[in-house]
Amino acid sequence: MLLKNLRPADEYDRFASQALEPWDVLFVARIRQLARDMAPGALVDIGTATAVVPVRLAADPVFTDWRFVGLDLDETMLNGGRPRIAELGLESVIELKVGDAQNLPFADGSLAMAVSRATLHHLPDKLKSLTEMYRVLQPGGIGLVHDMRRDVSPALLEKFTQMRAAVGYPPTHVEEKVTLDEARALVAEAGLADCSAVTSPGIGLGALGFEILIRKPLPA
Ligand SMILES: C[S@@+](CC[C@H](N)C(=O)[O-])C[C@H]1O[C@@H](n2cnc3c(N)ncnc32)[C@H](O)[C@@H]1O
């Protein structure tokens, strides 16, 4: 299955490996910062594509004894990531699973972390994807969504377009993304405003996008 505005798995993997590294570093650093004081548990990467993010996390000492699930609606994307996982001997640590971000195949309160990058904009029911993320988190668990802003600065968008072009990848479809205010409105509509923060850095490559950080409260 090839979703709207997505390239085939092999092309996406090449793009992710060659052009997204600066964002991988930011996303992985943020996840490890949030996980540092947590007990090992299960982490799902929603819309994982070829599982670049779980592979990076599994190599990080902060994630010793964690288990990872790479979830994607498109099995061909997951299949594109399997050889790398096998090559690194990570099959017992990273499970790849077909599933929908809007109807997560996990029990309530079963995961320590749920992360998702560059996937929210693909989802017809964005609100449900946020309530699903919250549902599967254990108390004290953390949800993290990073995605590109539609209201990105033209200069940064041009820089991203050039980085994509350098590896033969077409410009992004910026019109399908949400703005920072729309992301805030989604979180409020999902009833998660009290336990979430929606932010975007003012400078650097991170300013291309926004972050939704959800902290599921511990019982009182
Ligand atoms: C732009 S890619 C991002 C991949 C990866 N997270 C990254 O940052 O490189 C979006 C991914 O979301 C997946 N996707 C789209 N709709 C989905 C859904 N409803 N549930 C799960 N995954 C979905 C696509 O198949 C694709 O692999």
- Domains of the chain by start residue, with CATH: 9-215 (3.40.50.150)
pLDDT in tens, 6-54: 667 777 777 776 777 788 889 999 999 999 999 999 999 999 999 999 9
Q: Is the predicted pLDDT of residue 146 greater than 50, yes or no?
A: yes
Largest CA-CA distance found in the chain, in angstroms, rounded: 52
CA of 181 to the centre of ligand 1 (A): 22
How remote is the CA of residue 4 from the centroid of ligand 1, in Å? Answer: 11
Which pLDDT value is given to residue 21? 78
Count of beta carbons in the 10 Å neighbourhood of residue 59? 12
Q: How many helices (H) and strands (E) does the chain have?
A: 7, 7
Least reliable range by pLDDT among 61-70, 76-85, 125-134, 202-211: 202-211
Please tell me the least confidently modeled range out of 96-105, 166-175, 208-217: 166-175
- What the block records as the tokens of 86 is 């096998």
Q: Whose CA is nearest to atom 8 of ligand 1?
A: 117
Query: Which residue's alpha carbon is nearest to atom 17 within ligand 1?
Result: 73
pLDDT score at 111 = 98
- Rounded Cα–Cα distance for residues 5 and 27 (Å): 22
CA 141 to ligand 1 center in whole angstroms: 22
pLDDT in tens, 90-123: 999 999 999 999 999 999 999 999 999 999 999 9
Per-residue pLDDT, 2: 44
**Does residue 213 contact residue 153 with C-beta atoms inside 8 Å?**
no
Q: How far is the CA of 144 from the centre of ligand 1 (A)?
A: 15
Q: Of 117-131, 141-155, 162-176, 178-192, which gets the smallest average pLDDT?
A: 162-176
CA 47–ligand 1 middle distance (angstroms)? 3
Average pLDDT over residues 189-208: 94
pLDDT score at 152: 94
The confidence score (pLDDT) of residue 169 equals 82
Residue 57 has pLDDT above 60, yes or no: yes
Sheet holding 111-117, edge to edge: 94-98, 67-72, 42-46, 111-117, 137-148, 209-215, 196-199
Confidence of residue 1 (pLDDT cuts 50, 70, 90): very low
Q: Which residues line ligand 1 (CB under 6 A)?
A: 3, 6, 16, 20, 46-49, 52, 72-74, 77, 100-102, 117-119, 122-123
Most ligand 1 atoms within 8 A of CB, residue of 43, 119, 144, 148 to mutate: 119
- pLDDT, residue 46, reads 98
Q: Is the dihedral of CA 59, 63, 68, 71 positive or negative?
A: negative
**What is the pLDDT, as a whole number, of residue 6?**
64
